[in-house]
Amino acid sequence: MGSDKQSVGLLDTLKMERVRTILTPAYPYPHEHSRHAIIAVVVGCLFFISSDNIHTLVEKLDNNIKWWSMYGCLLGFFYFFSSPFIGKTIKPSYSNFSRWYIAWILVAAVYHLPSFQSMGVDMRMNLSLFLTIYVSSILFLLVFHIIFYGLWYIGLVSRVAGKRPEILTILQNCAVLSIACCVFYSHCGNRAILRQRPLERKPSNWFSLFKKQERNTWLAKFLRMNELKDQVCLSWFAPVGSASDYPLLSKWVIYGELACSGSCPGSSDGISPIYSLWATFIGLYIANYVVERSTGWALTHPVSIKEYGKLKKKQMKPDFLDMVPWYSGTSADLFKTVFDLLVSVTVFLGRFDMRMMQAAMSKVQDGGEQDDLLYDHLSEKDDLWFDFMADTGDGGNSSYSVARLLAQPSIRITRDDSVLTLPRGNLLLIGGDLAYPNPSAFTYERRFFRPFEYALQPPLWYKPEQVAINKPEVPCGVSELKQYDGPQCFVIPGNHDWFDGLNTFMRFICHKSWLGGWFMPQKKSYFALQLPKRWWVFGLDLALHGDIDVYQFKFFSELVKNKVGDGDSVIIITHEPNWLLDWYWNDVSGKNVSHLISDYLKGRCKLRMAGDLHHYMRHSFVQSDGPVHVPHLIVNGCGGAFLHPTHVFSKFKNFQGISYECKAAYPSYEDSSRIALGNILKFRKKNWQFDFIGGIIYFILVFSMFPQCKLDHILQEHSFSGHLRSFVGTVWSTFIYILERSYVSLAGVIILLIVAITFVPPKLSRKKRLIIGVLHVSAHLASALILMLLLELGVETCIRHKLLATSGYHTLYQWYRSVESEHFPDPTGLRARIEQWTHGLYPACIKYLMSAFDIPEVMAVTRSNLCKNGIESFSRGGATIYYASVFLYFWVFSTPVVSLVFGSYLYICINWLHIHFDEAFSSLRIANYKAFTRFHIKSDGDLEVFTLAVDKVPKEWKLDPDWDGETKQPQQLSHLRKFPSKWSAATAQQDPLHTVKIVDQFVIHRTDKSDIGTSNGSVIR
């Protein structure tokens, strides 16, 4: 059930609508409160630790710097692991799992280090008490939510109560509540506060500088904050009375120790303050929850409905998706992408082609003209503005930034002392790759359609689920396409759109009429547009072959013969820029396209445009005596996808025997090379889901090396150089062991080597690929072996200092049961009754929850037994327990290192070897440097070209007050509005409308008959 469901219950039967109106507000309170509780608990922890233990803290640091160094390294390393997840939204995800995972194993490691007790923090007591309270809180709150949900069903509470809280939210609230109880307990004690307790502390060497007359300074007051803490404990943790004062609770409470010195005779009948504190927190949680879900809006929002509506609009934000995590080890979309690509290439490529089916369904008319492929409704205009973009549908912020600029009625750009106004294009051309990582209904709707719909809303009568049967379905009041004066859109597919055989593209492009406020008359995946002043646009579909098919070639070649005049000019749009990619891969592709341009157009092709590479580069021909088939080559794939480098293609100079020079590159070569450095510094932060795979790979590489039983030669050295020499020698010995005697680790090394060699781009020779692959795997293997040896040395050191392997399994639970009766007497037999009612489940849950925090002890005990008796003496279950406990810690230690090594590999390859341009920049997930190209066919037939770019894409958006305040007519199309876009940047200075700039501008002259077969098309900068 959800909050929107209309429940039929008791009140509906009795027709008590008045009661329902009073008890249920019309505007539910939409807030969750666990975050504030977390902040309060953290502040409380810091207060208690600093106030009660500042003396012993400094004294410990003063007397034993070695232990504090170990703590600093341990906590610092765990912070290094968890840093990518800090600040991310708490929700059921890999990020949230990692936060809880790191907290779990960090506590398990720290609690075995007794030096924390000098700070007044008894980790064993806190941990055991936490688990007990945690389980009890979960059971209690689950019962409460079931009861409250039942009250909603019969209509006694607000409708929003029907929105069930997520289980994760309940677990997090129980954790916060339990931690709060543990903090108060550990720093105030279970006994009542002794009012006469002397406040004596052993002075540290650092405090000898303070004299009595200086005790009123702010530092002295801070050091004596323990007095304030005692006052807090007296107020919050005071005795609550005995069981005789509360007879109804006598059998259901936790009892506490008596406030007496030494041993207390008899059993305690005083209620433990921990019980009253837990009951207080539970009561606050329930009260807060009930108020929020029943009358929260009326109590916390004493404003009018109109004012509340305005406030709600200000708080609205777009639901944009983040950039695609290409290195995610947990993304189902990426696995689906790989599967779709394998199916498309191995099954359909060369056997089934959607373009062939489109050709079969086309109606061929006189002279080769096809009314579903050729569009001439714009040819009679005096001039025309149109736009080109490609490779959108990645991150919502970047895609919307470009769409917002495309949707504006005009863009004003200040250049020097003049203002240049560029009107919105009547036509939008999109060069493929509409949604990443794979074509599906979800990615098309969320990553492609939604940003454009926010930028320019579709008509009110448009329904997203509507299928266009007879296109073009022009708006009401328009009899034919030629009469429609709004912006239109034509799209060609890219390689990502072909991963499912073009199925999603056909559904969402060829059988829908609106992309936001852009009208889509297109029926097929390729098209020809006749524009004013004898200009043409050919939109070609290369599929996954990198070339047009025979039927496409036939259509365009006959169109050139029958329709394109000698003085006409043609712009050819493809998804892939084969001039750059052929040079990079040392290949030849697009032979049919080249044949069409050189042998049919014969100099009339003035410009080739493409996307696929997510940057902007323009190459123009170098004046020569020979014929020039294409004077200008433009790549602009900055429509929203991650950035690609430009410096990798800096040496491109020649295409089909014609010399070209780079006239513009965005970003510049210098910026592109500098951005690549982010692979070393930011790879893990940008690709933290890569941990899942990286940690497993490293563990497999060293699986056979656990445990290392003979480490005496390292620990017994007396100098740093001796330690280092022995350490390196041991690493080499383990490597030799893997080659000679290991099975699992050797298999992992061989498989990783094959993958690494295959991963190197095939443009290099086999020898170079082998060398790079071997060096890459060697770096990973060396790192894994070093981490393995460091972990083993740490465990061995703890064992030798009697910190681990001192007792056995379930040590925490055994300790808890030994002190349970002392700290929490149970004269009424409450524990025995609960154990009987739950058939032993309750104590079993506590026992195994506590054993989860005994992982270091389990690992050390099992390791000692393995070293003593050998692996043969262990059962399969015992060995599994050991390797699982080792993996839990080794995975954390290895994940930052594997990301660092792999990121360094990508940086070296992209900047030194100029390979992996796709892999090295997709890892950075850069949303900035976005651009599109705006064209203007002037009345004299020349073509002006402006490339507009935004360096930095906003990350935060707000409801545009101009859009919200503009009067909207019911039947008015959105392109007629002055402010068409719904969202503007949260900071006005970062809005794309204010930061847009021109990065390239030139003019292409119209074709003269003398240009055919010769060099043509001069450039005006």
Please, what's the b/e burial string for 870-886 (b: 16 or more CB within 10 A of its CB; e: otherwise)?
eeeebeeeeeebbbebb
Q: Determine the residue type at 812.
A: L
Q: What is the mean pLDDT of residues 792-816?
A: 81
pLDDT at 523 over 80: yes
Element (H, E) at 386: strand 384-389
pLDDT at 842: 73
Whether the Cβ atoms of residue 499 and residue 334 lie closer than 8 Å to each other = no
Q: How far apart are CA 253 and CA 378, in angstroms?
A: 83
Q: What is the pLDDT of residue 89?
A: 46
Q: Is the pLDDT of residue 600 over 50?
A: yes
One DSSP character per residue, 692-734 reads HHHHHHHHHHTGGG------HHHHT--SHHHHHHHHHHHHHHH
- Tokens 């924390």 belong to residue: 116
Q: Residue 676's closest CA among 324, 917, 328?
A: 917
Chain-centroid distance of CA 446 in Å reads 15
Supply the pLDDT for residue 811: 76
Q: Is 5 exposed, middle or buried (0-12, 13-18, 19+ CB in 10 A)?
A: exposed
Tokens 């852009």 correspond to what residue?
518
957 contacts: CB under 8 Å, gap ≥ 6: 317, 318, 320, 397, 400, 983, 984, 985, 986
- pLDDT at position 615: 97
590 vs 719: which has the higher pLDDT: 590
pLDDT-derived band at 304, boundaries 50, 70, 90: low
Residue tagged 């979960």 (tokens): 138
175 in helix, strand or coil? helix
Helix (H) or strand (E) run with residue 789 in it: helix 766-800
Q: Is 77 exposed, middle or buried (0-12, 13-18, 19+ CB in 10 A)?
A: middle
Among the ranges 105-119, 189-203, 255-269, 661-675, which has the highest mean pLDDT value?
661-675
pLDDT at position 726 = 92
Residue 982 pLDDT: 94
pLDDT band, residue 941 (cuts 50/70/90)? very high
**Lowest model confidence (mean pLDDT) among 365-374, 422-431, 982-991:** 365-374
Question: For residue 831, is pLDDT > 70?
Answer: yes
Distances in whole angstroms, Cα of residue 523 to Cα of each of 452, 520, 713 = 20, 9, 76
State mean pLDDT over 338-347. 60
231 pLDDT band, cuts 50/70/90, is: low
Residue 145 scores a pLDDT above 90: no
Task: Give the H/E segment covering residue 173.
Answer: helix 167-188
Banded pLDDT at 735 (limits 50, 70, 90): very high
State the burial class of residue 509 (Cβ atoms within 10 Å of its Cβ: 0-12, 13-18, 19+).
buried
Residue 307 confidence (pLDDT)? 58
Residue 258 pLDDT greater than 50, yes or no: no
Residue 9's pLDDT band (boundaries 50, 70, 90)? very low
Would you say residue 349 has pLDDT above 60?
no
Which residues, at least 6 apart from 651, have a Cβ–Cβ distance to it below 8 Å? none
- State which H helix or E strand residue 902 sits in: helix 876-908
**pLDDT above 60 (res 364):** no
Q: Which of 966, 980, 1000 lies closest to 406, judged by CA? A: 980
Instruction: Indicate the SS3 state at residue 481.
Output: helix
Greater model confidence, 984 or 136: 984
DSSP 651: T
Summarize pLDDT for 743-793 with one digit per residue, the tens: 999 999 999 999 999 999 999 999 999 999 999 999 999 999 999 999 999
CA 713 to chain centroid, in Å, comes to: 45
pLDDT in tens, 164-174: 666 777 887 88
Cα 598 → chain centroid: 46
The three-class DSSP label of residue 742 is coil
- Percentage of the chain beyond pLDDT 70 is 72
- Taking residue 46's Cβ as centre, other Cβ atoms within 10 Å add up to 11
Read off the pLDDT of residues 859-901 as tens digits, 9 standing for 90 and up.
Answer: 899 999 889 888 888 888 888 989 999 999 899 889 889 999 9
CA distance linking residue 323 with residue 302, whole number of Å: 40
> What does pLDDT average to over the chain?
79
pLDDT over threshold 90, residue 582: yes
297 vs 846 pLDDT, higher one: 846
User: What pLDDT is stored for residue 408 in this prediction?
Assistant: 96
- Render the burial of 956-990: b for 16+ CB within 10 Å, e for the rest: ebbbbeebeeeeeeeeebbbebebbbbbbbeeeeb
- Asked whether the predicted pLDDT for residue 12 surpasses 60, the reply is no
**Residue 714: band (very low, low, confident or very high) from pLDDT cuts 50, 70, 90:** confident
What pLDDT is attached to residue 62? Answer: 47
pLDDT in tens, 379-395: 999 999 999 999 999 99
Sign of CA dihedral 235, 239, 243, 249: positive
Strand 616-621 and strand 632-636: pairing?
antiparallel
What pLDDT score was predicted for residue 198?
Answer: 43
Q: What confidence score (pLDDT) does residue 936 get?
A: 97
**Quick one: average pLDDT of 209-238?**
55
Please answer whether residues 137 and 129 qualify as being in contact, where contact means their C-beta atoms are separated by less than 8 angstroms: no
- Contact between 323 and 642 (Cβ < 8 Å): yes
Residue range 569-576: average pLDDT? 96
| Residue 806 confidence class, pLDDT cut points 50, 70, 90 | confident
Q: What CA dihedral angle connects 849, 852, 853 and 856, to 10 degrees?
A: 160
- Region 170-191 average pLDDT: 75
Q: DSSP string spanning 748-788? A: HHHHHHHHHHHHS-TTS-HHHHHHHHHHHHHHHHHHHHHHH
Distance, CA of 178 to CA of 911 (rounded, Å)? 52
Mean per-residue pLDDT for 196-225?
45
- Write the pLDDT tens digit of every residue in 401-430: 999 999 999 999 988 778 999 999 999 999
SS3 annotation, 200-261:
CCCCCHHHHHCCHHHCCCHHHHHHCCHHHHHHHHHHHCCCCCEHHHCHHHCCCCCECCCCCC
Q: Is the sign of the CA dihedral 537, 538, 544, 546 positive or negative?
A: negative
Specify the pLDDT at position 700: 96
Helix axes 354-361, 550-562, angle to 10 degrees: 50
Using a cut of 0.85, tell me whether the model's pTM lies above it: no
pLDDT of residue 972: 84
Query: Hey, what's the torsion of the CAs at 643, 645, 649, 655, to 10 degrees?
Result: 0
Q: Is the pLDDT of residue 536 over 80?
A: yes
Higher pLDDT, residue 270 or 547: 547
More confident residue, 549 or 227: 549
Q: Distance between CA atoms of 708 and 463, rounded to whole angstroms? A: 66
Asked if residue 508 has pLDDT above 60, the reply is yes
When pLDDT is cut at 50, 70 and 90, the band that residue 11 belongs to is very low
Task: Please tell me the predicted confidence (pLDDT) of residue 971.
Answer: 79
Amino acid 493: pLDDT: 95
- The average pLDDT across 241-246 equals 68
| Sign of the CA dihedral with 818 first, then 823, 826, and 831 last | negative
Whether the predicted pLDDT of 196 surpasses 50: no
Residue 28: the pLDDT is 38
Three-state secondary structure call for residue 322: coil
pLDDT for 155 beyond 80: no
Strands (DSSP E) contained in 101-205 are none
Q: Yes or no: say if 164 and 1 are a contact pair by the CB < 8 Å rule.
A: yes
Task: Give the Cα separation of 294 and 36 in Å (integer).
Answer: 20
